Structure 1
Amino acid sequence: MSKFIYPFLAGILLLATLSGCNSTPKETSNHWVKLATKTANFQTDTDTVTINSLFNSAHYNHLKLTCIQGTVQIDAIKINYADGHVQQLSTLGLLTKNSSTRAMTLDRAQNKIKSIELTYNSIGNATLNLAGVTKKAKLEIWAKKTADTNN
């Protein structure tokens, strides 16, 4: 029995370790960090991205969205800070494949981001998606580290 338990426990430990590494944000050379990738449904949808403070101690001063597939209407972006403050970013409109928003200034760069709420709608419909005419939109959420967390 024990010859099955040890490999099982080792596998669980390996999976937990790799999962933790995957949730660590990757930084580009200009200090932009990809926080998440989200897929928009063909309906108005609100997604919440929770920033994992266990793996990320950075502070951010700018945020931008990049559309890597499809077309998406951005309705609202809400930033929830660790101190309880909430910042509503202006509605950004329509993003198409390979387009990005401007770098939006965060008003609490000295505080950590707890979560980001996105409300959006992918342009198209499920029938056109199955036919290969339109695809669900995919968004990347990027944040720029503040100067005091750039190492």
Structure 2
Amino acid sequence: MGFMQGLKKGFVRLMYGRNGVDQLGMAMVWTCLILDIVSMFLQRRVPVGGAVLYWAAMALWALAIFRMFSKNLYKRREENSRWMQLRWRLLSGRKSAKERHADKEHKYFTCKNCKTICRVPVGKGNVEITCPKCGAKIRGKT
């Protein structure tokens, strides 16, 4: 067995039972890189701002490494799950707005009470629909 294979085997043994890299960890690493690059450009113009961003990136980097080597899998998975829910909420809203705009066969109404999106076929004239979630009446023209 060569040196590199032994090193790899040792690292695999070290990481056994630890969290490793997940989606939140990757997001933290990418955020660190972006903050570092911005701090390099900001360092010349606003030295204090660049230093603050640099130390924020280093703190985030330390937190990402802590999460990767953590043995408390339950807590790390809970954190990752919350991150994925937040990410899904942010990205799915933008994606569905694009899809709604492209849909020419339906008109979309948003309930003012619960923010539920209701779909009605185009060409029905003035309609009054009932929200399936909260029961509020929504009026509009299709």
**TM-score band (shorter)?**
under 0.3
Could you tell me the TM-score, scaled by structure 1's length? 0.25
Higher relative contact order (CA 8 A, sep 6+): 1
Larger helix percent: 2
Larger strand percent: 1
Larger radius of gyration: 2
Could you tell me the TM-score, scaled by structure 2's length? 0.26
